[in-house]
Chain A
């Protein structure tokens, strides 16, 4: 029986899946963060840019679809978070905007700012986008300062439903170490995935060995940040919501969520194992290049699990620290049953979309990228 509650959970799962895939595809950003640290020569930098440059639109599209799906399924989040944490989202968007043009512009004659400048834009997006997205997602667990009053629509002079309760409009998230470390974790993960992707996608041994060194550093940073995040996540109070929709604090809520949803815990552990195995095999075996195909899906599974513990099992996924009862839950922030049902039918196309993307990806990447290919064919 497909009930309204089921549809809310189904759509939260899709949001989680899109979030997971987005983090996987942030290998584009992570790879760009390595343009200068790992690319020692022009040839190597050009290889990195052209390798991530053939995938950047998929990451971008996933981000846009993530936003669109959130809008369609949980519009109150869209209106509360985007309109409230204004500066965080604007900063994220600006870094992506610079990335979007930098590939096309960087090596073209007449680009005004020069190749290095556009590559710096790519690097900045590579570091800042995962850092900021991660920091924003961190607030899913620690909460934000906002008020939601749907009755405000009846106030002719001030009809705004969602209001941010401070003037920082999202920037205050950096005052909470958990959020920042969450961001650092996502950034280091993106860089690790970027290194793994480039090792797989580019046929250049010297560059590969430099990328392995970068992978070691980034993955080390990731593990430290992950450790902190997991310890805090297991011990922190979470925002639990009862059947009446009343929100209260519960000690160890997220740990309870993992334990009470063994499938989600299994998903997280399987993802973590795949990620670690992918990275370790790449670091320990110089000939092994397929780490991204273990670590990427691993990261996706782990991120899906994190989203699920944020929203499932009676949890307010976007808590308000000003008035707990204004926290966003799957039930109070979702679209109508009709819309969720209609969009659920639409979502049946997703496996087809993923299949054709995978098919064409395979077609395009049968052979690893080489400098010779860049010399004789189209390139950025």
Chain B
């Protein structure tokens, strides 16, 4: 019997690792573009100021990069250590993007990071600039493949279940790569990294302005970062819109939970906060149609007929059909040698009910509902903070262009305080994506409780607390080193 505590601790450990990883990765993605832009300005203008500016941000980039790598390796191997059943059940599909990520992206990052950081005097200017861009491109390519893998879990495509090997097998590689969820998720995640990088640079630069230090450096950095950040935020909004449409299509329970929508229908309202709604807005966001039908949590559990006439079964029926599929699978395996005709019939039943296979592991309809309160508020934090940061970047850019920024103390403070907020928004986004798809590790096919490894709860608890201590220690040290480096500053004015 799989203990629920084992599932919970395994989930917590993965969430901890992924959460920490996502503290470091977005800054890598965003800062890479900002410093590569700065270095491009250096190569184009020949102004040493841009080289020194680039080098300062590169120093902070390197400190952050190392911790991102450290948390990343744990994530990759946790698929095996903590989710061993998952690793076999879908390893035929899921392993491929991870391997491709290593071959295509990680080697690129590793090679060009070394050239970028240590190669200032060893390679030509243009060569160095190429290395800086390629480090950032490597990070983005890495994001492509890990998000292809993640999106496949949200919307599994391009595979078939093989009862002989007892796993899902890839039948269409390009369906996996061009999964619409992957495309939206890539843009949404990578451009949210641009936002993080931008807010990080703006916030620190504003601190220099508050201290009346490094004014030219700070103003120039703000200019580049705000432009990158504004472009990034618009891209995040656009990809967020398509993510909403896809959630409505492929993960309606996630959408209903994120909206706290119990009873759905056409002209579904969008809840700004509890009690404050915009009529019809959710239908527009989810279907781009005011009359678009959006099912609520109860509709999804009770079953409903969508406007196109498609009947969506109730939770009970899905669970029953899932159990039928699992039972047929067992019969197929047992009868294969002794009674081929009965085995063929069992296989037919399995295929007929395969779409609900994962539901068979569930025992009640309640298991199908993710924690509504958490997702509801995480979504609002993500969108609210994102919107506020876009406004902030516009105001900061306007003030910088007008030369008024150094005098606007409140804006400098707001920019500094925006740094933790952008991280909060990023974490909230992943909570919506990952907690929102519970109980599924692979939507509809495999719930988390059928995916865990057979290790003791105590072992997972031990490693969980070990990782808490290690990651927190690393985070504290990184923050301390970053702060010392920031206080020391680029020292451009003193030269």
**Quick one: given A75-B88, A164-B454, are A104 and B470 in contact (CB under 8 Å)?**
no
- Which of A64, A104, A338, A347 meets B169, CB within 8 Å? A338
CA distance A376 to B91 in the complex (A): 48
Contact B333 A339 (CB under 8 A): no
**Quick one: given A150-B166, A156-B326, are A79 and B87 in contact (CB under 8 Å)?**
yes
**Quick one: given A82-B81, A83-B82, A349-B104, are A169 and B118 in contact (CB under 8 Å)?**
no
Least CB distance from B369 to A in Å reads: 20
Q: Which of B104, B167, B360 counts the most A-chain CB atoms under 10 A from its CB?
A: B167
Interface residues of A in 289-324 (CB under 8 A from B): none
**Quick one: given A71-B94, A108-B484, A160-B453, are A65 and B99 in contact (CB under 8 Å)?**
yes
A94 at the interface (CB under 8 A from B): yes
Contact B484 A339 (CB under 8 A): no
Q: Majority SS of interface residues in chain B?
A: helix
A353 at the interface (CB under 8 A from B): yes
CA distance A156 to B1 in the complex (A): 9
A61 at the interface (CB under 8 A from B): yes
Question: Which residue of B is nearest A90, CB measured?
Answer: B463
Least CB distance from B107 to A in Å reads: 5
Interface residues of A in 82-137 (CB under 8 A from B): 82-84, 86-87, 89-90, 93-94, 96-98, 100-101, 103-105, 108-113
**Quick one: given A111-B477, A111-B481, A158-B1, are A72 and B330 in contact (CB under 8 Å)?**
no
**Quick one: given A63-B73, A89-B80, A93-B73, are A104 and B95 in contact (CB under 8 Å)?**
no
A262 at the interface (CB under 8 A from B): no
Contact B453 A112 (CB under 8 A): no
Contact A71 B69 (CB under 8 A): no
Question: Which residue of B is nearest A356, CB measured?
Answer: B111
Contacts of B169 in A (CB 8 A): 335-336, 338-339
Q: Mark B93-129, 1 if CB is under 8 A from A, else 0.
A: 1111011111110110111111101111111000000
B450 at the interface (CB under 8 A from A): yes
Least CB distance from A231 to B in Å reads: 33
- Which of A69, A70, A108, A346 meets B481, CB within 8 Å? A108
B379 at the interface (CB under 8 A from A): no
Contact B454 A83 (CB under 8 A): yes
A9 at the interface (CB under 8 A from B): no
Contact A71 B360 (CB under 8 A): no
Contact A71 B110 (CB under 8 A): no
Contact A57 B109 (CB under 8 A): yes
Binds B, one of A205-213, A236-244, A273-281, A357-365: A357-365
CA distance A366 to B118 in the complex (A): 13
CA distance A76 to B87 in the complex (A): 7
Q: Mark B459-495, 1 if CB is under 8 A from A, else 0.
A: 1000100100010011011101101110010000000
Least CB distance from A24 to B in Å reads: 15
Least CB distance from B464 to A in Å reads: 11
Contact B76 A67 (CB under 8 A): yes
Contact A71 B82 (CB under 8 A): no
CA distance A156 to B323 in the complex (A): 8
Contact A68 B115 (CB under 8 A): no
Interface residues of A in 127-163 (CB under 8 A from B): 150-151, 153-163
Question: Which residue of A is nearest B484, CB measured?
Answer: A110
Given contacts A60-B69, A93-B74, 10 further A-B contacts (CB under 8 A): A57-B113, A63-B73, A68-B99, A72-B98, A100-B69, A100-B73, A103-B66, A110-B477, A335-B91, A339-B169
13 contacts between A and B (CB under 8 A): A57-B110, A63-B73, A64-B106, A69-B99, A75-B87, A75-B95, A83-B84, A89-B80, A101-B67, A104-B63, A151-B166, A157-B2, A377-B120
Interface, chain B (partner A; CB < 8 A)? 1-2, 62-63, 65-67, 69-74, 76-77, 79-89, 91-96, 98-104, 106-107, 109-115, 117-123, 162, 165-167, 169-171, 173, 323, 326-327, 329-330, 333, 360-361, 450, 452-456, 459, 463, 466, 470, 473-474, 476-478, 480-481, 483-485, 488
